[in-house]
Chain A
Amino acid sequence: MELDAFLEIKNVTKEFPGVTALSDVSISIKKGEIHGLCGENGAGKSTLMKILCGVYPYGTYSGDVVYKGKVLRLSSDSIHQAMREGIAIVYQELTLIPLMTVGENIYLGKEPRIGPSIDWNKLYSDSDEVLKRYKLPIVPHEIVRYLGVGQMQMTEIAKALSENADVLILDEPTSALSEAEVDKLMEILHTLKSLGVTCIYISHKLEEFFRITDTVTVMRDGKVVTTQPTKQLSLEKLVNLMVGREMKERFPKGNRKPGEIFFKVEGLRAIDPADPSREVVKGVDFELRKGEILGIAGLMGSGRTELVTTIFGEYGLLTAGKIILNGKEITIGSAREAMQHGISLVPEDRKRLGLVLIQTILSNISLPNLNRFASFMRINGHAEVAEAEKFSKSLSIKAPSVHVLAESLSGGNQQKVVISKWLMSEPKILILDDPTRGIDVGAKFEIYKLMNQLAEQGYAIIMISSELEEVLGMSDRVMVMWEGRSNGTLGIAEATQEKIMARATGIEIA
């Protein structure tokens, strides 16, 4: 095994309008090692991987990636180029075609041919050969939709390795796997290592790094904090490295005075209606006061979004537990009913769930609120415009008028449109699901100020956030979620990043 770097990332900086996603990142990866990459959401891991596999081609970032002694220059016209160079990636979400067989999926887009027709015999014998070489226990003729999640992942790995990859990137491969499947994956990774494949392993489950990796790089805010051999690290140390930073004045001081408890969730459990065998909320309790901001922390996949969309009546089917508003148990079966109870949800993905992008700011803001302007046959268009302009002004949405299309706005302004839309419905409880994701620092600050104002006016706010700093900077209390359940609620005075992380990773259980 050679000791010098096989894949070296040198001073890479990547900027998006208003955000520096990676700043001066240098990592060197040795041949044949399993290199762990950890960090909070938004630390820059995914951006870095996208550079390695050519989603962001050479020239869109500064710095160099040196691979096998040469500068890697991936062009923009083909993201398959990285694969031909021997760098393959297995994404977090599976990208297989369910109705095709394992073999067809492995060779999708590169089917062996005789003249114009596909050489099925070669396709299946080659697939078989790949699966055997890497000791993946699946059969090429199996239809993918009948496989378990773990086996689908194996198919993904086989697909990635089918072009004799030297580097395999695994982006949170275990987030959907059961314990037994994780064990199986670890076994496969050992096999790959023994065959000389270099792996970059990204995960939110920290203990996995100690099971499998040789070296771990910790990233934070687009920078590399450290790269160390796994042997020198401990779980606690890793958590410290991930979050350990000083709090800056990034959060406006509010003057919130939380009032009495008026909303409670007790022992809530819910299943996915599309797949009743899957429990998505596994026991959540919390209380909410008037005029407070309750932060919900937790890693991706910990069930935060599932919880709030279930409360909003649009996702899970309740199997146990109660939702109590003003001392009365309520049931919520749809967004409309939630709104009638005074609950509003600003969903996590504003483009997909929050906005009708091809419509104007006006139409978006008034969409859930048309009833107030409408009689049976008529909408009072003038009142609607006047009201929308009022919100646009008070939230300082930067646009020439409310008649501008939502798709033309920046992320921060889009988010303000979604918030306006829900404020107009005059809720008592405003749920914000990761409200500042993907928006720049300045716009974040404005959204924080807005949250303070709203809480001061007596709105109760529930804020999900992937950024620990944000949770600590903005909340009065923090509920931590872990594996679908609430793992304790911390008052802001006692909450620290380490304590939250310990609960979010299940190291500490309430």
Chain B
Amino acid sequence: MFNQIMAAFKKNIRSYVLIIALVVIWLGFGIAQPAYWSADHIQDIFMQMAIIAIMACGMVFVIVTGGIDLSVGFGAGFVSVIAAAMLYYKTIEAPLASMGIAGQTLEVVTALIVIIICIAMGALIGVLQGSIIAFLMVPPFITTLGGFNIWKSGILLVTGGKSLFISSNDTYKFIAQGRIPPIAGFVIAVIAAVLMFIMVFRSRARKQKYGIQVGNLVWELVRTVIFVVLLFGYIVIVNKAYVPGVPFLVLILAAVALLMNYVSTNTRFGRYAYAIGGNREAARLSGISIKKSLFSVYVTMGALMGVSGVALAAYVGSGTTAAGSGYELDVIASCILGGCSPLGGEGTVFGAIIGALIMQSLTNGLQMLNVSSNLQYMIKGVVLILAVWADMTMKKRKA
């Protein structure tokens, strides 16, 4: 049985290279600085990476189609300052208050309306850029480089050069700063674990129904058990933190990642994106509308940019003039590190999440070791290049 497990592991080794890299990074920093393994830091690290990781889930699709989106940093920044402005100037709150809504209800309703407007704003940015790319056929690099500058200006125009503080709405700030009660974390984990096991057996039953050979049950169960153990381990640890509980933002990230991962493999939208990136001509001759697909990809990216923008405003607690600056490069780096081919056709949502986690782990580790921030970018740059080179070499050896 052990041999079977090892064989299955060897077969999937490439998918685990990233995870192994992550473990090595954690071990290294943990040994050098024990605080790296503290409950507070583990709670922090997932929270800090969330804003980048949410956008990486959309960027995977963009890069898979062979495109790029340079506008996501300032795009998310623009959305975040809009959110901050609406809260700062009480644009939503004032009319609601005059309708007699007050107290906690007022905060919740205001927050919800702001969230909906902001995600719609993000999607609208996607519609705009997506139309230009898909229908006017301006290359994505150019279109989104334009967007980069446009939304940067947008930020400055909205803020008028000053920071807009969100002081009146703690419900809104909960999105990125709050933790769910420890017991709720456990409940969610139990439900997730039960679902995972049910899915293993359900998938096998359906495969048998269609006469498809089923995989090794032991290996599938071992894999599920590992996931469940990691999940519970995480819950136990974050529940011990100074402010106990799973960060709400991490919950949002998990939801986005699961959804986008599903979309990438189980919907036409996802499959067409991979086909277009893999061979555009073959996809076109297979009756796929390239324009419609590309357009949808950029709209999705835009909507996720909106989600990140909402979270960014809540995380910082204000709308600042530098909001989102440089995020686009972290998002792209996460995807590439996670196995996206810059030429298109390859990449996974799961990989991009791990990529984002690796980037964040490096940043935090270097900070905790008091490495000068002047040097940190250089180290991250070198790691990025090395990682991609190693990945390419592995692939060549396989072929």
Which A residues are closer than 8 A to B by beta carbons? 312, 314, 334-336, 338-339, 345, 347, 352-359, 363, 367-368, 370-371, 374, 377-379, 381-383, 385-386, 389, 421
Interface residue? B36 (CB, 8 A): no
Interface residue? B266 (CB, 8 A): yes
For B267-278 the 0/1 string (1 means CB < 8 A from A) is 110011011001
Name the prevailing secondary structure of the A interface residues: helix
Q: CA A370 – CA B271 in complex, angstroms?
A: 9
Q: CA A489 – CA B202 in complex, angstroms?
A: 57
Q: CA A412 – CA B207 in complex, angstroms?
A: 29
Q: Is the CB of A370 within 8 A of B278?
A: no
Residue on B nearest A354 in the bound complex, by CB: B282
In the complex, how many angstroms separate the beta carbon of B79 from the nearest chain A beta carbon? 26
Number of residue pairs spanning A and B whose beta carbons lie under 8 angstroms apart: 85
Q: CA A488 – CA B287 in complex, angstroms?
A: 32
Q: CA A352 – CA B272 in complex, angstroms?
A: 17
In the complex, how many angstroms separate the beta carbon of A363 from the nearest chain B beta carbon? 7
Q: CA A371 – CA B271 in complex, angstroms?
A: 11
Residue on B nearest A338 in the bound complex, by CB: B287
In the complex, how many angstroms separate the beta carbon of A82 from the nearest chain B beta carbon? 30
Stretch of B24-32, B113-121, B145-153, B209-217 contacting A (4+ beta carbons < 8 Å) = B209-217
Q: Which of B266, B289, B345 contacts A356 (CB 8 A)?
A: B345
With A367-B286, A370-B268 already in contact, the answer to whether A382 and B281 are too (CB < 8 A) is no
**Residues of chain B with a CB closer than 8 A to A345's CB:** 285
**Residues of chain B with a CB closer than 8 A to A312's CB:** 285
Q: Is the CB of A335 within 8 A of B267?
A: no
Interface residue? B10 (CB, 8 A): no
Q: CA A350 – CA B285 in complex, angstroms?
A: 11
Q: List 6 A-B contacts (CB under 8 A).
A: A314-B284, A336-B287, A355-B282, A363-B275, A367-B282, A367-B283
10 closest cross-chain pairs (CB), A and B: A356-B278, A386-B210, A368-B286, A336-B287, A335-B287, A356-B279, A382-B210, A367-B286, A382-B206, A370-B268
Q: Which of B212, B287, B346 contacts A386 (CB 8 A)?
A: B212
Q: Is the CB of A347 within 8 A of B285?
A: yes
With A355-B279, A356-B279, A386-B211 already in contact, the answer to whether A379 and B284 are too (CB < 8 A) is no
Q: CA A345 – CA B281 in complex, angstroms?
A: 13
Q: Is the CB of A358 within 8 A of B346?
A: yes
In the complex, how many angstroms separate the beta carbon of A462 from the nearest chain B beta carbon? 16
Q: Is the CB of A353 within 8 A of B282?
A: yes
Q: Is the CB of B207 within 8 A of A382?
A: yes
Interface residue? B288 (CB, 8 A): yes
Residue on A nearest B345 in the bound complex, by CB: A358
Residue on B nearest A352 in the bound complex, by CB: B281
Q: Is the CB of B279 within 8 A of A381?
A: no
Q: Is the CB of A385 within 8 A of B212?
A: yes
Q: Is the CB of A335 within 8 A of B278?
A: no
Q: CA A368 – CA B282 in complex, angstroms?
A: 10
Q: CA A385 – CA B211 in complex, angstroms?
A: 9
Q: CA A47 – CA B94 in complex, angstroms?
A: 80
**Residues of chain B with a CB closer than 8 A to A382's CB:** 203, 206-207, 209-210, 212
Q: Is the CB of A353 within 8 A of B281?
A: yes
Residue on A nearest B289 in the bound complex, by CB: A336
